[in-house]
């Protein structure tokens, strides 16, 4: 929640920042803020203060809000709108590939022999347990220092990468005057629908990836096995992004891919809820195969027709939809308390149904 809610809080300030700095400088600032959040894990680990860890995650999320508010419209505007989903899918491939590796790498560093660690902690005296937990917490320092160094290096290299700066088209005077009188969001109702679609898309992806480890424990898997389930979920997302990068728009339009992905997601959720036992974990792991195309497909549809400063405003509104990653897992847990971990995945069905509605509205608008 601390991580994803930062997108909602910081999205509008991020848009205003980009209007002043431009997209390229905005990317560099976003990376630097992410590095600052990673470095905050050092005092958090040394003092084993939970609130500092949460603040570090919030700052990392703030940097990502700035970065994505710049990157997504930048990628969208670099070429034809019909192939924007393909370009964003290629970007997503890098993201998800890193996501697949991260749980294995960090899990090996922080939670090696996780089940043995749990048994060890149960047997330690209170003072020895505190000492062991302090040592465990400090193992995050080196990985996050390395992450901070990489982020700062990339921010430095972008300055010399000679990326083309895309300047927003100036608005004419009449439109500026009209913008003072009318609400931006009511002028562009497709943005409000796009915001909800992003909320659903991110919520679907985060619930599938972030709940699957606990879901494995619910079905009796050991922590040593369950801690790696997120990687399998992200791997299915890679397949989805790879399909988007290779097939859109050469073999299939981004609109039809969006439609078919929603139907696939609905089918997988139904199987995940109805199939008994640990077999249902497979269907949860496959959900991100369907979810992968939602993010790249919504952006070009929601930003279509916007020009000038409206692009930054629209991008900031869409970024706020990432709050779905903060809210949807809480709704899943709430429903799980009243049913169980398996039936709680029914919370995903309304998101897929809304995305189908968004597809219908988008086609009417086209």
pLDDT tens digit sequence for 343-357: 999 999 999 999 988
DSSP 114: H
List the one residue out of 220, 321, 225 whose CA is nearest residue 278: 220
Give the integer Cα–Cα distance in Å for 291 and 34: 25
With a cut of 50, say whether residue 49 has pLDDT above it: yes
- Cβ partners under 8 Å of residue 288, min gap 6: 205, 208, 209, 233, 234, 236, 237, 240
Burial class (CB in 10 A: 0-12, 13-18, 19+), 98: exposed
**Residue 11: pLDDT over 70:** yes
pLDDT band at 185 (very low <50, low <70, confident <90, very high): low
User: How confident is the model over 286-302, as a mean pLDDT?
Assistant: 84
Give dist(CA 104, CA 173) in Å, integer: 54
pLDDT of residue 94: 67
pLDDT tens column, 70-98: 776 777 666 776 666 667 666 666 666 66
- Residue 83 contacts residue 92 (beta carbons within 8 Å): no
Is the predicted pLDDT of residue 177 greater than 50, yes or no?
no
Lowest mean pLDDT among 109-123, 228-242, 282-296: 109-123
Q: Which residue has the higher pLDDT, 123 or 180?
A: 123
Ranking 164-173, 180-189, 218-227, 230-239 by mean pLDDT, the lowest is 164-173
Closest CA to 348 of 330, 328, 334: 328
**74-88, 119-133, 204-218 — which is least confidently predicted?**
74-88
Quote the tokens at residue 293. 């195309």
CA-to-CA distance for 106 and 336, rounded, in angstroms? Answer: 28
Q: Which of 329, 88, 87, 101 is nearest to 235 (CA)?
A: 101
pLDDT given for residue 211 in this prediction = 93
Cα–Cα distance for residue pair 199/319, rounded to 1 Å: 9
Token pair belonging to 40: 């905050």
Name the band, by pLDDT with cuts 50, 70 and 90, for residue 299: confident
Mean pLDDT of 288-309: 79
% of the chain residues with pLDDT over 70: 80
The pLDDT of residue 179 is 45
> What is residue 173's predicted lDDT score, i.e. its pLDDT?
40
Which pLDDT value is given to residue 64? 86
Rounded Cα distance, 66 and 81, in Å: 22
Query: Are the CB atoms for 359 and 298 separated by under 8 Å?
Result: no
């Amino acid at each position: 929640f601390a991580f994803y809610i930062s997108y909602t809080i910081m999205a509008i300030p991020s848009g205003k920042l980009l209007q002043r700095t431009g997209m390229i400088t905005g990317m560099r600032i976003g990376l630097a803020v992410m590095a600052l959040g990673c470095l905050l894990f050092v005092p958090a680990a040394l003092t084993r203060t939970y609130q500092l860890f949460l603040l570090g995650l919030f700052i990392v999320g703030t940097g990502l809000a700035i970065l994505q508010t710049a990157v997504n419209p930048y990628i969208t505007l670099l070429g034809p709108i019909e192939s924007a989903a393909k370009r964003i899918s290629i970007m997503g491939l890098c993201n998800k590939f890193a996501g697949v590796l991260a749980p294995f790498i960090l899990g090996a560093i922080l939670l090696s022999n996780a089940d043995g660690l749990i048994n060890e902690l149960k047997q330690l005296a209170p003072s020895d347990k505190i000492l062991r937990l302090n040592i465990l917490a400090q193992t995050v320092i080196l990985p996050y220092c390395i992450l901070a160094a990489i982020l700062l290096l990339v921010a430095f290299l972008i300055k010399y990468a000679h990326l083309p700066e895309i300047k927003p088209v100036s608005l004419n005077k009449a439109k500026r005057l009209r913008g003072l009188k009318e609400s931006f969001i009511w002028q562009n109702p497709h943005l409000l629908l796009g915001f909800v679609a992003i909320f659903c898309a991110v919520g679907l992806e985060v619930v599938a990836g972030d709940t699957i480890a606990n879901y494995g424990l619910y079905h009796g898997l050991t922590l040593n096995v369950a801690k790696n389930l997120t990687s399998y979920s992200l791997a299915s997302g890679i397949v989805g992004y790879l399909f988007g990068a290779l097939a859109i728009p050469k073999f299939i339009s981004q609109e039809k891919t969006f439609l078919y992905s929603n139907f696939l997601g609905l089918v997988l959720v139904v199987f995940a809820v109805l199939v008994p036992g640990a077999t249902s974990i497979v269907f949860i792991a496959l959900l991100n195969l369907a979810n992968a195309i939602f993010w790249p497909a919504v952006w070009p549809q929601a930003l279509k027709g916007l020009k000038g400063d409206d692009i930054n405003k629209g991008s900031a509104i869409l970024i706020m939809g990432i709050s779905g990653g903060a809210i949807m897992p809480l709704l899943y847990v709430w429903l799980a308390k009243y049913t169980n971990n398996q039936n709680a995945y029914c919370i995903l069905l309304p998101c897929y149904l809304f995305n189908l509605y968004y597809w219908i509205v988008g086609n009417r608008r086209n």
